Amino acid sequence: MKHLFLYLCFLIENIYTANILIIASFPSVSHLTSFQKLAKHLTKRSHNVDLVSSSHLSSKGDMDGYNDIKLDLQAAAIFPKELDYNIVTSISNDFIKNIKVLTLLESNICKLLFKTPEFSNLKNSMKKYDLVIMEFFASECYLGWAWYFQVPSVSIATTIPFPWVFDRFGIPDNPSYVPIYFSHTNSQMSFYERFGNTWKSVVTKFLYSYFTRNSTKETREFFGQHMPSLTDLSYNSSLLLIQSHFSIRDAISYPPNVIEVGGMHIEEPKRLNKTMDKLLQTDLEGIIFLSMGSLVPFETFPKIMLEAFFDAFAEIPYKVLIRAKPENFPDGLRIPKNVHFESWFPQIDILCDNRVKLFISHAGMMGYQEAVYCGQPILGIPLFAEQISNMKCILSRQFGMQIYEFTKKEILEKLQKLLKDPKYTKNAKKVSMEFKDRPMGPMDTAIYWIEYVIRHNGAPKLQSTVRQLFWYQYCILDIIVVCGLVLYISATLFYRMI
C-alpha cells in the first residue's frame, strides 16, 4: 500500500499541463496536416494547444484544450492551393531562383501575418505559454514569439532541412557526403556532384543571408526594437524535429537536439468505407493508385503527357485510381475504361490495402513515407524540391523507377517491369520494415522530446557547442594558419642556421 501511494504521488508530481503555441503559417495542406496531428496528440496528453494556421486551409479543432486560430491573410494570393505543372518545372532546375522564390514567399507571408488582427490579439493577450513550436522553412520570423513570451522554441522541418538550418543546430554538413536540399543527389556522389554540392552549399547560405537581410528589421517592427536578431534567436532553438528517417534518406550524424520523426503524420490505416471498398473491387489483376499530391494536380500536366499515360493505362490489366478532377482535364482526351477519378482518396488506407500493387507519385516527402510505410513500389514523377532527391533514394534502394521521357512506350515498359518483377515489391517491403523498426513510433518520439524540452526549461545541454564557433574555427583554419606559420618560421630559422 505504501509503494502504491508513493507511485501515485510520483505520477501526480510528473503530470504537467503546458500551454503550447504552434505556428503553422505556410499555406500548404501537406505541411499543415503534420501540425494538426501533432496538436491533437499533444492535447490528448492534457496540454493546451493554440494552433495558428492559414484560413484558406481546412482544419477542425474539435477537442478540449485545442484552439484553432485562423489567419485571414489572403495567402492564396501569394501561394495558391494548387500550382500548374509548367510553373513548377520552370523553376525546378534553377536553385538560385528556388531560394529567391522561397525566401521572398516566406517573407511576404511574415509581413502579412504581422498585420493580421489575430497576431495582434495574440501579442496583446495576457495568456502565458510554456513553449512555441513552428516550422523552420524559409524564414525565421516566427522565432520572435519565443522571445516575446520568453519560452523555449521547437522547430519542425516538414522536409529535409535547408542548408541554413544545419548551421543553426550544429548539424555536420560536409558537402563531400551530405547532399544539400538543392543538389538533387544522394550521399554517393561523383567528383562532379561533390563539386556542385560544395558550390551550392556555400552559395545557398550566402543567398539566404542576402535575401533575408531585412527579416530582423521587419520582425522587430512587430515585437519591438529590443528583440535580438533572428539569427541569434535561431541559434538558441531548443529542438529540431525532422520529418525524415535514415531508412529512406541518407544517414547523417545529428546532435542530440535534432530528432528524426519521419512518418509522424501517419496514422494506423483504417478499413475502407463501403464506397471506397467498392472502388477497389475489380476482376482485373489489381489496383494502381496515382496521386500527385495537393500542390500540382495531375490534370495540369501537358496534354501530350496525359495522352501518353492514358494510352499506357489502356494496355495493362489493372484498374487505375487517379486523384484528379476530370472536369479540369484538357478536352479531347481518351479515357480508358479501367481508369477511375476521385477528387480525394484516404491515401494511407488505399496504399495499405493488399489489392493495391503500385503507387504512381511525385515522390513528395509525405506520400513517399506513406508508400514506404505500406510497402508499395513507386513509379516516380518528381517535379521539384526534395522530390528529386527522394527519387534518387528510391532508385538506389531499388523499389521504384522514374519516368523521364513521358512517352507511352516508356510508361508502359516501366509499369510492366514494376508490376511483373517481384524484386521491386520485395525491396519495398524490406524498406518498410526498416522504416517501422524503432523503439517508439514517430509521433510518440516527437511528443517525448517536446515534453523533455518543457520539463528541462529548454534543455540547453542538448545543444551542440559547435553553434558557438565561427566558421574558421569550425574548419580549424586558425589552427592550420598558426601551424603553417610555425612551420614556416622553423624552416626559415633552420635554413639560416645551415
Does 212 reside within a domain?
yes
352 neighbors 373 (Cβ within 8 angstroms): yes
Distances (CA, A) of 143 to 147, 218, 219: 7, 13, 9
| 315 part of a folded domain | yes
Give the pairing type, strands 48-54 and 66-71: parallel
Q: What are phi and psi of 56, to 5 degrees?
A: -90, 10
The answer to whether position 287 is within a domain reads yes
> Are residues 64 and 213 both part of a single domain?
yes
Residue 301 resides in a domain: yes
Number of alpha carbons in the 13 Å side-chain half-sphere of residue 162: 26
Kindly report the CATH number assigned to the domain that includes residue 176: 3.40.50
- Highest average pLDDT, of 89-98, 255-264, 488-497, comes from 255-264
pLDDT at 126: 84
Q: What is the CATH number of the domain that holds 378?
A: 3.40.50.2000
- pLDDT bin (cut points 50, 70, 90) of residue 441 is very high
> What pLDDT digit, counting tens, does each position of 188-205 carry?
888 988 998 898 888 888
Please check whether residues 180 and 286 belong to one and the same domain.
no
Domain shared by 297 and 186, yes or no: no
Which band of pLDDT confidence, cut at 50, 70 and 90, is reported for residue 92? low
Measured between alpha carbons, how far is 264 from 133 in angstroms, rounded to an integer? 15
Residues 215 and 362 in one domain: no
In total, how many domains does the chain have? 2
Q: Are residues 215 and 328 in the same domain?
A: no
Same domain flag for 60 and 207: yes
Please say whether the beta carbons of 397 and 427 come within 8 A.
Answer: yes
- The C-alpha atoms of residue 248 and residue 244 are separated, in whole angstroms, by 7
- DSSP, collapsed to helix, strand or coil, labels residue 157 as strand
Same domain, 124 and 37: yes
Q: Could you count the other beta carbons within 10 Å of the beta carbon of residue 259?
A: 20
Tell me the mean pLDDT in the region 94-99. 74
Smallest CA-to-CA distance from 451 within 133, 144, 147 is with 133
- Does residue 151 sit within a domain? yes
Q: What is the DSSP letter of 361?
A: E
pLDDT score recorded for residue 129:
95
> How does residue 13 score in pLDDT terms, banded at 50, 70 and 90?
very low
Amino acid making up residue 314: A
Looking at the structure, do residues 370 and 431 belong to the same domain, yes or no? yes
User: Mean of the pLDDT values across residues 289-317?
Assistant: 93
Helix (H) or strand (E) holding 4: helix 2-14
Which of 436, 462, 481 terminates a domain? The answer is 436
Higher pLDDT, 423 or 4: 423
Based on the domain organization, do 233 and 342 belong to the same domain?
no
Q: Give dist(CA 28, CA 33) in Å, integer.
A: 9
* Lowest model confidence (mean pLDDT) among 24-38, 151-165, 267-281, 397-411: 24-38
As a whole-number percent, the residues of the chain with pLDDT over 90 amount to: 56
Domain boundary, last residue among 217, 237, 257: 237
Distance CA 253, CA 256 (A): 10
Residues 143 and 286 both lie in one domain = no
Q: How far apart are CA 189 and CA 314, in angstroms?
A: 39
Which of 211, 237, 263 marks a domain boundary? 237
192 class by beta-carbon count within 10 Å (0-12 exposed, 13-18 middle, 19+ buried)? exposed
Contacts of 14 (CB under 8 A, 6+ apart): none
Domain of 358? 274-436
Spatial CB neighbours of 267, under 8 Å, sequence gap ≥ 6: 37, 348
Confidence of residue 485 (pLDDT cuts 50, 70, 90): very high
Neighbour-count burial of 101, counting CB atoms closer than 10 A to its CB (0-12 exposed, 13-18 middle, 19+ buried): middle
Verify that 80 and 212 share a domain, yes or no. Answer: yes
Whether pTM > 0.75 for this model: the answer is yes
Contact indicator for 296, 400 with CB cutoff of 8 Å: no
pLDDT value at residue 366: 92
Asked if the model's pLDDT at residue 63 lies above 80, the reply is: no
Cell 503530470 found at: 15
Give a yes or no: residue 472 inside a domain.
no
pLDDT score of 377 = 97
User: Is 443 domain-assigned?
Assistant: no
Tell me, what's the pLDDT at 106?
Answer: 73
Q: Inform me whether the pLDDT recorded for 49 exceeds 60.
A: yes
Q: Are residues 46 and 183 in the same domain?
A: yes
Give the range among 79-93, 419-433, 459-473 with minimum mean pLDDT.
79-93
pLDDT band at 123 (very low <50, low <70, confident <90, very high): very high
Burial of 37 (0-12, 13-18, 19+ CB in 10 A): middle
**Mean pLDDT rounded to a whole number for the chain:** 87
Q: Is the pLDDT of residue 445 over 80?
A: yes
